Amino acid sequence: MAYAIIRTGGKQFRVEQGTTIRVPSVSREAGERVEFDVLATNGGEGGQLKIGAPLVEGVRVGATVVNHGRGEKIIVFKKKRRKQYKRKQGHRQDFTTVKIESIG
């Protein structure tokens, strides 16, 4: 099965055709197509691994935006003992769910 390593939002993801992944928020509407640059790919059954410097030339990953959302809430709590210092803050990361349509 062909796979590729893509980079988006400062993170890297290993993707295969037909899979659905959550990536950091992409500014596209649901149903629109988005393309990602490829850092590495194996090119299919028994193919050789191609590693880009920094990108693999002529290879793109095409995906369709499924929906947008927000992740689970995490609590950021800071404290310095014996100094009466406490700070509590919540955070929810925005994400975009994309379905990988094509590699190549």
Average pLDDT of adjacent 10-residue blocks, the chain of 104 residues? 92 96 96 96 80 92 97 98 98 97 91
Q: How many other β-carbons are positioned within 10 Å of the β-carbon of residue 52?
A: 14
Q: How far apart are CA 7 and CA 12, in angstroms?
A: 4
Does this model's pTM top 0.85? My answer is no
Distances in whole angstroms, Cα of residue 71 to Cα of each of 54, 89, 101: 30, 15, 24
* Cα distance from N-terminal residue to C-terminal residue, the chain: 13
